Amino acid sequence: MGIEVVVEGLTKSFGKHVVWRDVSLRLPAGEVSVMLGPSGTGKTVFLKSLVGLVRPDSGRVLVDGIDTVSCSERELYKARKLFGVMFQDGALFGSLNLYDNIAFPLREHTRLHESEVRRIVLEKMDMAGLAGESHKYPGEISGGMRKRAGLARALVLDPQIILCDEPDSGLDPVRTAYLSQLLIDLNAEIDATILIVTHDIQIARTVPDNIGMLFRGSLVMFGPREMLLTSEHPVITQFVNGRRAGPIGMSEEKDEATLLLEQAAEAQNGENREAERLPALVPQLVPSAGMPERLAVRRRMARVISELPALPDSARQAIIANLPDDDRELALTSIRQAGEQAGPAAGWPADRPGGGRA
């Protein structure tokens, strides 16, 4: 099973430019999480900070008891062995064929006999859908194959945490869909903790258990996928729907005057406000036929049910609607009990099964 990653009060700046400040979250063990955000919001810097490739100014990143922000080089090396990183461009050596590219970490960091290296490399290539492609060079294959080769190389040391930096970059929608399914199948097969950094909303809608979003140097939100995808936060609504009107502009942030002009234009044009609401949730991807059940699903639902009373009403209703009958009854019981304890003064209507205001 994967390892939980705990981020506490993380802040990073380059000179006077603050990339993000006071970011805190937990990546649940064995679950798939996605970090969204407009271009330039420091998503890749955040990913690199987790594995110690970039040192934050302050805060902590706890990985199996090791704080990768302040630890010694020896401890950092130990923590990094728990990670596998799929870089945005694949980071393959052009002079090596795919087999040797994928074998590189094993030859660099282990003393395995070459027969064992071969067994592991071929196993990971098969897992990534690259069986029979060992002899090809990076310049001879498509972008999608390079991504899969990068993923296979990230897997050879059997990491418990996998970081994927914009795996969809440069891929068409069809190949992005194939890669999304590959990541779900991978999680089912090895139960690793996975963090995907992306700005592709299709991946965010279908792949993760949890979603976060960075904007204007802050973590806007992080939690169960239903919480973000049903949110009415203006930044999230604009981003998820790919709309021009909203706080995000070409230079990431719009000034107040521009926002007011947009709002006035929308009112004058009589836009249907309902059309601005987030589309209905789509089902999360499930493992392909023949793959094992994702253990993360049961762990996640147990955790989410326990957190339901504290979630926004829209997220609660979306989660409950997608639960199996047995889990739905458990969730409603949890909400009713929380409502009875909190009382009407805390905004828990006793006569409403969902536990929140309509």
pLDDT beyond 90 at 149: yes
Predicted local confidence at residue 295, as pLDDT: 92
Distances in whole angstroms, Cα of residue 14 to Cα of each of 8, 20, 55, 121, 253? 20, 10, 11, 39, 19
**What does pTM read for this prediction?**
0.85
Please indicate whether residue 264 or residue 273 has the higher confidence score (pLDDT): 264
Per-residue pLDDT, 39: 84
Q: Where do the DSSP E strands lie in the chain?
A: 5-14, 17-27, 32-36, 58-63, 66-67, 83-86, 161-165, 193-197, 210-215, 218-224
Which one-letter amino acid corresponds to residue 120?
A: I
Q: What is the pLDDT of residue 266?
A: 56
Sign of CA dihedral 138, 141, 143, 146: negative
pLDDT of the residue at 352: 37
* pLDDT, average across residues 161-172: 90
Specify whether the backbone of 191 is left (phi greater than 0), alpha (psi in -120 to 50) or beta: left
CA of residue 352 relative to chain centroid, distance: 33
Using DSSP bridges, classify how beta strands 210-215 and 218-224 pair: parallel, antiparallel or unpaired. Answer: antiparallel
Beta strand pairing status for 83-86 and 161-165? Answer: parallel
pLDDT tens-digit readout, 55-101: 999 999 999 999 999 999 999 999 999 999 998 766 889 999 999 99
Residue 354, pLDDT > 90, answer no
Q: What is the mean pLDDT of residues 107-129?
A: 93
Q: Specify which of 23-37, 123-137, 260-274 reaches the highest per-range mean pLDDT.
A: 23-37
Q: How far apart are the first and last CA of the chain?
A: 39
CA distance linking residue 52 with residue 70, whole number of Å? 9
Q: What confidence score (pLDDT) does residue 332 get?
A: 86
More confident: 352 or 324: 324
Residue 219, φ and ψ in degrees, nearest 5: -85, 110
